[in-house]
A and B are shown apart, each in its own frame.
Chain A
Amino acid sequence: MTIFEKSVKGRKAYSLPEFDIPDVEIDIPEHLKRKEKANLPEVYEVEVVRHYTELEKKNFSVDVGFYPLGSCTMKYNPKINEDMSALFRWLHPYQPEETIQGALELMYDLKEKLLEITGTDDMTLIPSAGAHGELTGMLIIRTYHLDRGDTKRDKVIVPDSAHGTNPASAAMAGFKVIELKSSDEGLVDLEELEKHLDDTVAAIMLTNPNTLGYFERDIEKIAKMAHDVGALLYYDGANLNAIMGKARPGDMGFDVVHLNLHKTFSTPHGMGGPGSGPIGVKEHLKDFLPVPVVRKDGDKYYLDYDLPKSIGMVRAFYGNFGVLVKAYTYILTMGKDGLTKASELAVLNANYLKALLREVYSAAYDEDGKRPCMHEFVLDGSKLLKETGVKTLDVAKRLLDLGFHAPTVYFPLIVPEALMIEPTETESKETLEAFAAAMKQIVKEAHENPQILKEAPKNTPVRRLDEATASRKPVVRWQKQ
């Protein structure tokens, strides 16, 4: 039931003192005048609260249960982050610089810390989220080449295992996308890469570890190959949670390093954010960062708009500041050793879960269980499909019945019937074991009574949704009948 259906004429959730200001005639042009009354629901305050609390209870979040959504790093978001960001909620983006020195200092210091974590030389905190950061990074690369008078670089190489946003961002920045076939180990195939590399390539976009959860061990060689033909190397930050404090993209040879503060640095995300996708760059790309950049002059912090070669503004104001406060809080509360430990545990948890599931599921490219993964792994569901007719989608839906959020499914595209699992460092041994037990139960059901899986989920607020019709004929907002 929507809030509109609960509306009863005359009910209200407020009580205002009597209106004692005389009516004034304002000359509003006829075409700007509202013709009919705003259609607002009329309810008591308690009904508003109950309505939204009821909706909240139907939601699943990491505060409710295990959320192993591969590539999304759904780690627990410590509540202290929220407390700290609340301290800044009265700031206004138009306030004069001298009244917001604390906020600027926070941004400056967060940037310094992220530069150290990523091994880059300068950074913008402005991009609103992951794909926006990617586009910003691509525009920086484009502007860099054009600034050198190098106008023939119209291609960007993206592996076939990449996040879908990578080719999309490259295309949006005006590049042609070349898809790179992965090797039979699920890594960048150097011979294949060599074939595509020439002076028309602007950049290679990679994530390391890659989406299959394996570390690109030839990364330094790849960086050299790219740089030898004048191309740049772009780092997608989705998987940084595997390597914090252990390895730095900047040291691997990446020129542009993207981060998802809302994943790696524990700020809430999913369903529209807000996120934050900073872009770190090496020295030779500093001049092209979007404006404004936070700088320090003596004891004073200020916003620098004076970058003549900048790609310009990528959004209004200075990014999703609340998210920056939460990420800063996370970094300070964890400390250097804490961040390193987080990555270690994320990798350990993934490998433990992969080993627990081996009995019923094989992970892609894992050499019969002998190859360790990084912070995530991808299960291949084709055997189960062949034996029982149960699709990965059915398995995912059944997991909802058993109280878990489903993993990422059908991605990366190079693994058939893929289930991509990222447990993160914040889950206990017991939780991982409970999830493995649920997966084993599902595989058993697939063999014994596949109908349960085809009809799943049964215990959720809504049953299986018709995704095809939802995509073909989307209804994205409520409308009065």
Chain B
Amino acid sequence: MKKYTKSHEWVEVIEGNKAKIGISDHAQEELGDVVFVELPEIGSELKKGEAFSTVESVKAAEDIYAPVSGKVTAVNEELNDHPELINEDAEGKGWICEVELSDLSELDDLMTEEEYKKFIEG
């Protein structure tokens, strides 16, 4: 199940304490055509709420904030050659990195899909 932040990132636990992180479909819609994604380094530590990546579109460059804390175990290298994956499938093939969560309870503060939908409509 995906959880969302107010700054439009998503995080989804795939097994145990491993989770994938990306930006929401709404965020890619707002950004427009994505032209570059700065990926974090494998092994680096993300701290909840701190910027860990930058997504550049034809309109703007936006910082991406870590929805949870944890260690980066994999990054989506496909984005280097195909940043458009974020536009095509932000919440699937357009994932940015995989992390080992250091504190599962951080997920509790985030919004469910339904809550996030309400948040962006409001």
Please tell me if the beta carbons of B36 and A471 are within 8 angstroms of each other in the complex: yes
CB neighbours (8 Å) of A411 from chain B are 60
Interface contacts (Cβ under 8 Å), in number, total 21
B83 within 8 A of A: yes
B91 within 8 A of A: no
Interface secondary structure of B, over-half rule: loop
Please tell me if the beta carbons of B60 and A468 are within 8 angstroms of each other in the complex: no
Closest to A416 in B: B30
CB neighbours (8 Å) of B6 from chain A are none
Please tell me if the beta carbons of B61 and A472 are within 8 angstroms of each other in the complex: no
Q: How many residues of A contact B (CB 8 A)?
A: 8
Partner of B60, one of A410, A471, A472: A410
A448 within 8 A of B: no
Partner of B84, one of A410, A413, A468: A468
A270 within 8 A of B: no
CB neighbours (8 Å) of A467 from chain B are 33, 58
**How near does chain B come to A16, taking the closest CB pair, in angstroms?**
48
The complex places the Cα of A468 from the Cα of B33 at a distance, in Å, of: 6
Q: Which of B36, B56, B58, B60 has the most CB of A within 10 A?
A: B58
Please tell me if the beta carbons of B58 and A164 are within 8 angstroms of each other in the complex: no
Please tell me if the beta carbons of A164 and B84 are within 8 angstroms of each other in the complex: no
The complex places the Cα of A471 from the Cα of B83 at a distance, in Å, of: 11
CB neighbours (8 Å) of B97 from chain A are none
The complex places the Cα of A471 from the Cα of B61 at a distance, in Å, of: 13
The complex places the Cα of A411 from the Cα of B58 at a distance, in Å, of: 12
Please tell me if the beta carbons of B59 and A472 are within 8 angstroms of each other in the complex: no
Question: Which residues of A, 127-173, contact B by the 8 Å Cβ criterion?
Answer: 164
The complex places the Cα of A471 from the Cα of B33 at a distance, in Å, of: 10
Please tell me if the beta carbons of B35 and A468 are within 8 angstroms of each other in the complex: yes
Question: Which residues of B, 52-70, contact A by the 8 Å Cβ criterion?
Answer: 56, 58-61
**How near does chain B come to A167, taking the closest CB pair, in angstroms?**
9
CB neighbours (8 Å) of A468 from chain B are 33, 35, 58, 84
CB neighbours (8 Å) of B58 from chain A are 467-468, 471
Question: Which residues of A, 422-481, contact B by the 8 Å Cβ criterion?
Answer: 467-468, 471-472
The complex places the Cα of A256 from the Cα of B19 at a distance, in Å, of: 46
CB neighbours (8 Å) of A164 from chain B are 60-61
CB neighbours (8 Å) of A472 from chain B are 35-36, 83-84
Closest to A179 in B: B63
**How near does chain A come to B37, taking the closest CB pair, in angstroms?**
11
CB neighbours (8 Å) of B61 from chain A are 164
The complex places the Cα of A152 from the Cα of B84 at a distance, in Å, of: 40
Question: Which residues of B, 38-96, contact A by the 8 Å Cβ criterion?
Answer: 56, 58-61, 83-84
Please tell me if the beta carbons of B35 and A471 are within 8 angstroms of each other in the complex: yes
Closest to A391 in B: B32
Please tell me if the beta carbons of A410 and B59 are within 8 angstroms of each other in the complex: yes
The complex places the Cα of A123 from the Cα of B83 at a distance, in Å, of: 44
The complex places the Cα of A468 from the Cα of B58 at a distance, in Å, of: 6
**How near does chain B come to A59, taking the closest CB pair, in angstroms?**
22
**How near does chain B come to A211, taking the closest CB pair, in angstroms?**
14
Q: Which of B35, B61, B84 has the most CB of A within 10 A?
A: B35
Given contact pairs A468-B33, A468-B58, A472-B83, a sample of 14 additional A-B residue pairs in the complex whose CB atoms are under 8 Å apart = A164-B60, A164-B61, A410-B60, A411-B60, A413-B60, A467-B33, A467-B58, A468-B84, A471-B33, A471-B35, A471-B36, A471-B56, A472-B35, A472-B36
Binding site for A on B (CB under 8 A): 33, 35-36, 56, 58-61, 83-84
21 A-B pairs in the complex with CB atoms less than 8 angstroms apart: A164-B60, A164-B61, A410-B59, A410-B60, A411-B60, A413-B60, A467-B33, A467-B58, A468-B33, A468-B35, A468-B58, A468-B84, A471-B33, A471-B35, A471-B36, A471-B56, A471-B58, A472-B35, A472-B36, A472-B83, A472-B84
Q: 7 closest pairs, A vs B, by CB?
A: A468-B33, A471-B35, A410-B59, A467-B58, A472-B35, A413-B60, A468-B58
